[in-house]
Structure 1
């Protein structure tokens, strides 16, 4: 009789431990949703080609970035401005959610207004508002690649 009570107690304990583990996000449903998020991230990797130099960039998950992504691939003759950015006026208005970032970082890809694409190649403080689309993952060498004048830049999704 003593063994039956011990075995029953053990079985009940295992049941509750399994139940508690599933309640903390270890269920099959939460694992599959994590995998979906990973796949969504990899589809948001973009290549930015400037001459023979290629930079990898990550697009944000927002309506503006998705609208920009739908236009790709694009090869644009971007205009120099202020010694820190290249810009191009797109033919299509994109959704905006502008905010003042306070500081622009080298490699930021942003939208000024609803159709001006801006690639920043130097960091600085700003009082302007932008909608952030993405960022070059490692902007080392970006300023040298874009140079001091207008430049042709290709934006395309990583395949």
Structure 2
């Protein structure tokens, strides 16, 4: 704890250089630290004292990691264009779940406006359209209920779409999709 020195006999302001009052016992400093949130700080830093180190705790941690890995796999699919493969993280939407139910799926996608490829789905999917404002390179969206759209440029748009997912790394997407129409394969693995 830092204290300022002040001489009550003078009319000057407290010293601007803080000093530590070494006369106060360590216990008082620790109490002040606790009051200022030391337990929270230790918890945020991952103190081993706050976490049990039993075999059951390790098993719980391993099970949690396995579940997180499974959730990651469940929320991911792949898009292949020629020899290039892109990972897609799925949105938490009914449309995304319905899209995954169609996999594996090969779509002949047409070029449009120099910023997207679009293809007709075999059946209509649930929609929850909204105006994203800005479309991002790597967005996989649903226009209407049957048109899948992969965007390979970032731009502003007044149109409404339902989110399906987003490419994890869209670098090279424009080159991979090429200038014309293209066959795109979506798969779960």
Q: Which has the higher contact order (CA 8 A, sep 6+)?
A: 1
Q: Deviations over 1:36-82 (max 9, x none)?
A: 45522322211111111111111112111000000000111100001
Instruction: Return the TM-score normalized by structure 1.
Output: 0.76
The structure where helix makes up a greater share of residues is 1
Determine helix, strand or coil for the equivalent of 2:97: helix
> What is the distance in 2 between the residues matched to 1:84 and 1:132?
17
The structure where strand makes up a greater share of residues is 1
Residue pairs, 1:1-159, within 5 angstroms = 36=67, 38-158=69-189
The equivalent residue for 1:17 is: none
> What is the distance in 2 between the residues matched to 1:141 and 1:35?
31
Aligned 8 A contact 2:107 2:120 in 1: no
Larger radius of gyration: 2
Determine helix, strand or coil for the equivalent of 1:153: strand
Shift of the alpha carbon at 1:95? 0.3
Structure 2: 5+ residue stretches without partners: 1-49, 51-56
> What is the distance in 1 between the residues matched to 2:74 and 2:107?
22
Aligned 8 A contact 1:44 1:157 in 2: no
Give the alignment's Cα RMSD to 1 decimal: 2.1
Determine helix, strand or coil for the equivalent of 1:42: helix
Structure 1: 5+ residue stretches without partners: 1-20, 22-27
The equivalent residue for 2:26 is: none
> What is the distance in 2 between the residues matched to 1:64 and 1:76?
17
Instruction: Return the TM-score normalized by structure 2.
Output: 0.64
Q: Deviations over 1:80-103 (max 9, x none)?
A: 001000001112010000000000
> What is the distance in 2 between the residues matched to 1:118 and 1:57?
13
Note closer, same or farther for the CA distance 1:104–1:69 as it changes in structure 2 (3 Å cut): same
User: 35-44 vs 85-94, which deviates more?
Assistant: 35-44
